[in-house]
Every structure is written in structure tokens, then in C-alpha cells.
Chains A and B, each alone.
Chain A
């Protein structure tokens, strides 16, 4: 069923419709939180709280507007991650190298040398650059939605994306040589 219909039903208090939206987007939101928090429990809590918040704000959501429900959820999740990192000052977001030592979830990272390398490259990027890579290339969101989530305009996003690709190439070359 289309998102708009589900949202309209959920706005009228239909919890089944909201449940359908939850099932559709939970995994996306969870993995986004997981990679940003680097903590399984925290990621679970934030992604669930994100859906609770989204439900409360659902009455304000305009189905005819430019925002898709997906970008609406990603924006809430991103804000919650930022709030959380500010509050706890753990700021694990910066340290992607820690992912390798993480329990069972990323055990296959250790096995795969390429993934380890990518983690290192991501750790060299700053917060906004990493968000662009995750949302644009891993989640494959359209550039307009990524721009909306990050609160920048489309042109700025294109410029930044171009710079990030260049930066990633440079990092790869310095870390692993030009043949990689």
C-alpha cells in the first residue's frame, strides 16, 4: 500500500496502518542509527523512540508536501543521534574503527579486509561527509531527500558529494596505495 494512504489512516488513529509503516522503515532507521551510534542497544532505543516521536508529530505531517515519510523519519533519527551524542559525550560516531571490535553484529567485518578498509576511510571523514555517504550511497536516497535531511540545498549537496568522492580517493591512495 502507498505511504500516503497509510499515513492518512494513521493520522486518523489507525494503529495497523502505522504498524505497516513501522515494518516498512524500521530496518532502514535501525541500521542508520546502528552505524552512527556504534551501539546495538542505543541504536534500538533511538530507532524505536524515533517511531514514537514520528507518531506524535504525524498530525503535522503533510502528505502532499515535499517531505517523504522516509526522510521525515531519517531527520528525526538524525536529530536524536545528535542530541544523544551531545548528552552523553560519548561521540562514538567519530570512531568507526571501533566497529571492528564489536561483538557479533560486525564479526564479518573482521573477515573481510575490504570492509575494514572502508571503515578506516569513513573514520577519516567528518560527520556531515559521512552522513552524505551513508544516505546517498548506502541508503540510496535521492539527492533532494538527502539535502532536506541535512538541511542544505540541492546544489550545495552536489558540490559536497563531488568533494567527498575526491577526498575518499585521496584517503584510499594514501592509506593503501594507488592500486586499490
Chain B
């Protein structure tokens, strides 16, 4: 067995090279010179900056779209104060608190629509009442405000003209016996 391994090793070590070493070396050096340098997007600086930007974008969008109930909203408010109201404050609804002094409006009819003045002014007007204001997102009224107004179709009865409107006759037929009797009575009265 040892002899076999020795023979094999001899052949293995004599493995000929398919080309001259110098020729191969020239080829390798040529490849080294022709290899393009690493592109910029592989560099650590680029990767770090890209990851940071992604993270910051994510964080900014999380703050910007934060719902008023979340703790991030406080960050948003603080940021808005800092920037100076650059970002618009989404105020989906305003609650009218009883006893709130209202501004004199040109229209005479009292409306329940929120005043067009920005929230800042409204807060000033409301004064300390704002502190007692319930969280609109949690109150029932607030939920109702979120819901779309349901349109209830109202029955509009056309004017009844005797003998001309077949639909009214049909209605009368369908109505109860008592109603029919009362109609007859009224008809008789008119004739008289």
C-alpha cells in the first residue's frame, strides 16, 4: 500500500504545466492591470451614507404620518413648533365645546361647521376650555364625525288630484279598509 501511495505521489508531483510559467505570469499581470477598480457603490462610505439616508427617510415618514394618538405625534408637534408650522397639521375634525365664545360671523344662520381660522387662533379663543376638551379620536362624537353622513331617502307624496292620478288610486286600493272608508267620507263631504 505504501508503495502505491509513493508511486501516485511521484506522478502527482510531476504534473506538467500546460504552458510556460513566464507566459502564464504575463497573462496574470495583464489581468491584474486590466481589472477595473472597485466601483464606488461597493465602498464603505457609500454604503454607510445610503443606509443612514434610508433610516432617516423612514424615521421622518413615521413622524410625519404619525396618528394623533401615538407618542410620535408629540415629536411631530415639537418639530412643527421648531420649524415654524412648515408642515401642515392635519385636523380632521374640531369639536364645538359648549360655552365657547364665537366670533361674530357675517351669516345670520348658526352653523355647526368648524371655523376656518387655523387651530392656533382657535386655541387662543378657546382658552382654558381646550384643556378640558376630550380626545376627539376616542369620543363618540369624534367617531361620528369620522363617519360619512347617511342620506335617508324621504318619501315625497305627490299632490293628490282626484281621478287623474292612477298611482294614488293604486295606493288607496292597497291601503287598509279604514283608510278607504275615511276617504269615501271625505269625498261625500266634498260632493255635498
Contact = CB atoms under 8 A, between A and B. Distances in A.
A48 B21 contact: no
Contacts of B29: 15, 18-19
Nearest to A47: B24
A40 interface: yes
Given A52-B28, A172-B1, A112 B17 contact: no
Given A48-B31, A114-B3, A115-B11, 7 more contacts: A30-B15, A35-B12, A51-B28, A52-B31, A52-B32, A55-B28, A56-B32
A26 B7 contact: no
A105 interface: yes
A51 B27 CA distance: 11
Interface string B10-35: 01110111110100110111011001
Interface in A105-131: 105-106, 108-109, 112, 114-115, 117-119, 121
Contacts, number: 80
Contacts of A35: 12, 15
Contacts of B140: none
Interface of B: 1, 3-5, 7-9, 11-13, 15-19, 21, 24-25, 27-29, 31-32, 35
**Consensus secondary structure, chain B interface:** helix
A168 B1 CA distance: 9
Interface of A: 15, 18-19, 22-23, 26-27, 30-31, 34-35, 40-41, 44, 48-49, 51-52, 55-56, 105-106, 108-109, 112, 114-115, 117-119, 121, 134, 137-138, 168-169, 172, 180
B173 to A, nearest CB: 87
Nearest to A140: B9
Nearest to B15: A31
Contact of B8 (A48, A114, A180): A114
Nearest to B16: A105
A87 to B, nearest CB: 19
A56 B35 contact: yes
B4 A118 contact: yes
Contacts of A49: 31
B161 to A, nearest CB: 92
A55 B33 CA distance: 11
Nearest to A172: B1
Nearest to B4: A114
13 contacts: A15-B29, A27-B17, A30-B15, A34-B15, A49-B31, A55-B32, A106-B11, A112-B11, A115-B4, A115-B11, A117-B4, A118-B8, A138-B12
